[in-house]
Structure 1
Amino acid sequence: MENLQATGWCRLFITRQVKPGDLCIDATAGNGCDTELLCRLTGETGQVLAFDIQREALERTEKRLAEAGLGHQARLILDGHEHMGKYAESEKVSCIVFNFGYLPGGNHGLATRAPTSLAAVKAGLELLKIGGLMSLCIYSGGDTGYEERDALLTFLKNLDSRKYLVIRCEYYNRRKDPPMPVLIVKIHVG
């Protein structure tokens, strides 16, 4: 078996979830890796909404998609992921992907924070259709990473188990706070 990083582990499930024609969200566009994957999976008939608060991240994503011939399939949105509900309808989204932390290769002072990340996850849960998947790569450490991780995990632990299945995984033998992959499946509407 290949050596899977947290993002690679999540992508195993994302590739099984997303089908051509789906609407998906990359809540943290960053360098565009997940946006590109989602565009490939949704195909010509699908759409991907990619959010970031940093213009630099959206420019990197735009360049990556253009080089892959996928630029027309994504809508790049310069807005906080907590506002995703303004851009998609409830219960219409197949998959939402989060990579918390900072832009790889960017300013480490600009990172996701617990209040907006929690608001974004809550908004995303409303947008997911039944059977929809939310993927979270939670990076702790730094100035705010532990606070964000703890807030997210506390919230997720208390989600109604009749409505959501939450799977938390850990790299058990890695030191220095390795990223934590978490999957959420919407299983029922209350």
Structure 2
Amino acid sequence: MLLSALAYSHALMNQTIQPGDTVIDATVGNGHDTHLLARLVKDTGKVIGFDIQKQAIDTTKRRLIEAGLDQRVQLHPIGHENIVDILPPAETVSLVVYNLGYLPKGDKSIITTPGSTLSSVKQALSRLKKNGLVLLMVYYGHQGGEEEKDVILDYVESLPQKNYSVLHYNFLNQKNSPPFLIAIEKK
């Protein structure tokens, strides 16, 4: 059975993250990925989360407290283009995950944008450990989504093969702008 793009991203998280790792949720949203990441890093690891929306930070914080995982997570109410401002200079990460688009059940006019996302991905790659992953779930069926999708695809297609492996995982016969996954592994 083929996995959905989101299920495949979760499978990659489970495969990549080890207890004690530092990982980033660049768009915490409703906290589902943040919760999974916090479980995977265990007590010795750390999750750093970003979101510009107070609703997203509050929802995620509640979810983590209810699960007893809040001590493993640092939530920052700022955009994901601030990774290098928050991550200590010598620290590297095993995984960075993005869910591009808008906050489900939130204000659909607040979206991720090509410029901030591209800046963030470049920062994430600069801090990624060898064999680490950047996972981008690309939701683009909204105003502004096509532009962000195109900017991200152009960038990841230009990454040097000797340094990165880039996977584009999507279903070709689905209608209505189905989300897809981009996985970047640092060699």
**Shared fold per TM-score greater than 0.5:** yes
Letter of the aligned partner of 2:56 in structure 1?
A
Query: Separation in 2 of the partners of 1:157 and 1:43?
Result: 34
- Write the mapping of 1:87-102 to structure 2, written as runs, cut at 5 A: 87-88=86-87, 89=89, 92-102=92-102
List gaps (5 residues or longer) in structure 2: none
For the aligned residue pairs, the C-alpha RMSD in angstroms reads 1.1
Identity %: 39
The answer as to whether partners of 1:90 and 1:128 remain within 8 angstroms in 2 is: no
SS, match of residue 16 in structure 1: helix
Matches within 5 A, 1:161-172: 161-172=161-172
In structure 2, give the amino acid aligned to 1:24: V
1:52, 1:17 → 2: CA distance?
Answer: 23
Any idea what the Cα deviations from partners look like across 1:7-64, whole Å, max 9, x if unmatched?
A: 2110111100000000000000000011100100000000000000011100000001
- Structure 1: 5+ residue stretches without partners: none
What residue is the counterpart of 2:114 in the other structure?
114
Task: Show CA shifts across 1:98-143 (max 9, x none).
Answer: 0000001000000101111111101100110111111110011211
Q: Where has structure 1 moved over 6 Å in runs of 4 or more?
A: none
**1:12 paired to 2:11:** yes
1:45 matched to which residue of 2?
44
Could you state the TM-score of these two structures normalised by the residue count of structure 2?
0.96
Task: Verify the 8 A CA contact 2:5 2:169 in the aligned structure 1.
Answer: no
Q: How many residues align?
A: 186
Give the TM-score taking structure 1 as reference length: 0.95
